[in-house]
Amino acid sequence: MRTWVRRSFRNRIFVMMLLAAFVPLLVCGVLMLRFQMVRSEGSLAAEAVEQLAALEGALSELQGRCERAVGELCSSTVVRSALRRGGSDSRTLYQALFQAAGPLREYAQLEVYDSAGQPCYTTSRILPEEAVDTGWGILYAAREEEGMALRANGDGLACAQAVRSREGAVLGYVAVTVSQSGFDRLFSGLYGASCEVILLDGSWRTVYGSQPSQAQPTVESLRRQLLAGEGLAGWSGEYRFFAAAHAGTGFSLVLQQPKPFTSLVLRSFYLVGALAGALCLLLCMWCAWILSRYLSRPVHQLDEAMGAVERGRLDVRLETERDDELGRLSSRFNRMAEEYRLNLERSVQRERELNNVRLRMLQAQLNPHFLYNTLDAMKWLGVAHRAPQVAALATDLATILRASISGDEMVTLERELELIDRYVNIQLIRFEDRFAFEIDVAERFQSCLVPKLALQPLVENAIIHGVADRDDGYIKLQAGEEGGDLLLYVSDNGCGIPAEVLAQLNSEEKRIQDGHLGLFNTNSIIRIYFGQGYGVFARSSPGEGSLVWLRLPLRREEEGNAEGSDC
């Protein structure tokens, strides 16, 4: 996978876009679900605590009312008198009974028993026929305990207290019974419809269960939880339990609350979330793939185009309508490829021109080695026959030929001037001293490098086409500097340069003119070496003379052949 990602720019974009789109979506989805679950659990827990507090308050209120009613009846002389004599004004006793019961009648019933456990009076419509055994149960607890006794009676809650004479003898019992339906009315509206309330006595017997069919299994589960060392509060299966011990009665209230999300609901959530996540993953992959292809297509095309250029196809061009960075990159590649093609064509053209110049120079040479050996023989013949001019001509011409066939393409200006001086000596003998020649070059230019025999065509042009027909000809060679370039001037007072030749010398494309082959060859060589900004230039006035000069890079001998080094 790592190699696959690193191998392609498009694959990197695809993976990055996929991660950037899907991972935040996945994390947000998981966090939102978890946050909703925690928030729901917290909200339901707070509601359960409030409901449990309300149930505990209702139980405390029930206890208080029972204690007041039972205590009032047990201390009533009417009740004592009726139980002592075995009969009394029933109307007066019932008035006392109903007055003491008060609000308890909504969810409880009061009964008065004699000392044998036989029911005598009740707030219900029907008086029980069977006697209650006083040897056990609630009446036994009432006789043995001081105050009111509380017991679970199998169908609810029973509260009883013995009615005693002044001597302490038991005359009878006052009992309060709260049935399951009574507890339903007592706790009605104090807890949620989906919750279950269980009331347990101190012995963990069920006093009340809002759902009687499920109360006993729930109690057994809680008992096992306690035996395992766990508290009542907490999760158990699909439910959460909240417990509170009632301080007045010793009973325990348990509120069973279902989970906000059952296992079935959670499985549904996870299934829907997985399907939605898979759909989002597919959508993110599709969008990331489309976007990666859109972004990487120009890069891929550019890579293929550059490979084609490397293989020599210089006509490759990228077609793009994009205005962004990739579009501009494609446009710049097109311009670069076109410039590369033009540069290659120019290089080929320059090489072709250089080869042509070299061919013309070779054609103009008549075996320099043979000429040099012949001239050397002429020199010694001149010396032997005492002809000094012949010897001087032969010596100067041999020196020039030796320089022309040497392997050095660049020489110092000092060496070039020595060759020019020998060339002028030959021409002075030829023209019988009808012109004067002067070299005016400062010492600081002597070490500058120039192409070998570059000045000879300029001097030759000044002699042959300038002062050849004059008896007072004058030629001057000077050197100067301008803009970091070396300028070598050759001026004469001859007849001037024809206008068409002058125009060709100063034009961008210099074509060969008859009689001026040396000038144009020199210009071609200089431009091949140094570029279009250099070469041969001229200025002339008809009948007043001409000025021809060379523009060369200013370089010194110690700088070697490093191009672009300024003097």
DSSP 451-519: ETTSSHHHHHHHIIIIITT-SSEEEEEEEEEETTEEEEEEEE-SS---HHHHHHHHSSSPPP-TT-HHH
DSSP 101-140: HGGGGGT-EEEEEETTS-EEEESSSS---SPPPTTSHHHH
CA distance to 110, 378, 567, per residue, from 444 (Å): 139, 38, 10
Q: How confident is the model at residue 436 (pLDDT cuts 50, 70, 90)?
A: very high
Q: How confident is the model at residue 363 (pLDDT cuts 50, 70, 90)?
A: very low
pLDDT higher at 467 or 396? 467
Quote the tokens at residue 458: 């300029």
- End-to-end Cα distance, the chain: 60
Question: Is pTM beyond 0.85 here?
Answer: no
* Whole-number pLDDT of residue 567: 43
User: Mean pLDDT over all residues of the chain?
Assistant: 80
- Give residue for tokens 């339906």: 181
Residue 562 has pLDDT above 50, yes or no: no
Hey, which of 48-57, 333-342, 522-531 has the most confident mean pLDDT? 48-57
Q: How confident is the model at residue 414 (pLDDT cuts 50, 70, 90)?
A: very high
Of the candidate ranges 86-100, 380-394, 449-463, 535-549, the one whose mean pLDDT is the lowest: 380-394
Provide CB contacts within 8 A for 438, sequence distance 6+. 474, 475, 476, 477
CB of 327 closer than 8 Å to CB of 321: yes
> What is the Cα Rg of the chain in Å?
64
CB of 253 closer than 8 Å to CB of 244: yes
Residue 499 has pLDDT above 70, yes or no: yes
Strands (E), 286-442: 410-412, 435-440
Q: Angle, to 10 degrees, between the axis of helix 263-310 and the axis of helix 9-74?
A: 170
Residue 367 has pLDDT above 60, yes or no: no
Helix (H) or strand (E) holding 181: helix 180-187
* Whole-number pLDDT of residue 563: 45
Pairwise CA distance, residues 434 & 430, whole Å = 9
Hey, which of 52-66, 210-224, 254-268, 377-391 has the most confident mean pLDDT? 52-66
Residue 264 has pLDDT above 80, yes or no: no
Hey, which of 4-8, 60-64, 399-403 has the most confident mean pLDDT? 60-64
CB of 47 closer than 8 Å to CB of 79: no
Model confidence pLDDT, tens digit, residues 441-480: 999 999 999 988 889 889 988 988 888 888 889 999 999 9
Residue range 402-425: mean pLDDT, rounded: 84
pLDDT higher at 441 or 95? 441
Quote the tokens at residue 128: 């029980």
435-440 and 473-482 strand pairing: parallel
Phi, psi of 126 (to 5 degrees): -120, 130
Pairwise CA distance, residues 117 & 539, whole Å = 154
CB of 111 closer than 8 Å to CB of 122: yes
Residue range 336-359: mean pLDDT, rounded: 79
Residue range 385-397: mean pLDDT, rounded: 71
If one counts every other C-beta atom within 10 angstroms of the C-beta of residue 482, the result is 9
Residue range 125-135: mean pLDDT, rounded: 83
CB of 161 closer than 8 Å to CB of 71: yes
Provide CB contacts within 8 A for 134, sequence distance 6+. 115, 116, 117, 140, 143, 173
Largest CA distance in the chain: 195
Backbone dihedral region of 485: left (phi > 0), alpha (psi from -120 to 50 degrees) or beta? beta
* Whole-number pLDDT of residue 365: 46
Strands (E), 149-283: 149-152, 156-164, 170-179, 196-200, 206-209, 234-236, 239-245, 252-258
SS3 86: coil
Quote the tokens at residue 306: 């550059």
Amino acid making up residue 367: N
CB of 379 closer than 8 Å to CB of 394: yes
If one counts every other C-beta atom within 10 angstroms of the C-beta of residue 477, the result is 22
Residue 370 has pLDDT above 60, yes or no: no
Residue 180 has pLDDT above 70, yes or no: yes
CB of 485 closer than 8 Å to CB of 551: yes
Hey, which of 27-36, 174-183, 399-408 has the most confident mean pLDDT? 174-183
Model confidence pLDDT, tens digit, residues 139-169: 888 888 888 888 888 778 888 999 988 888 8
* Whole-number pLDDT of residue 1: 53
* Whole-number pLDDT of residue 378: 67
Residue range 13-36: mean pLDDT, rounded: 74
Amino acid making up residue 152: A
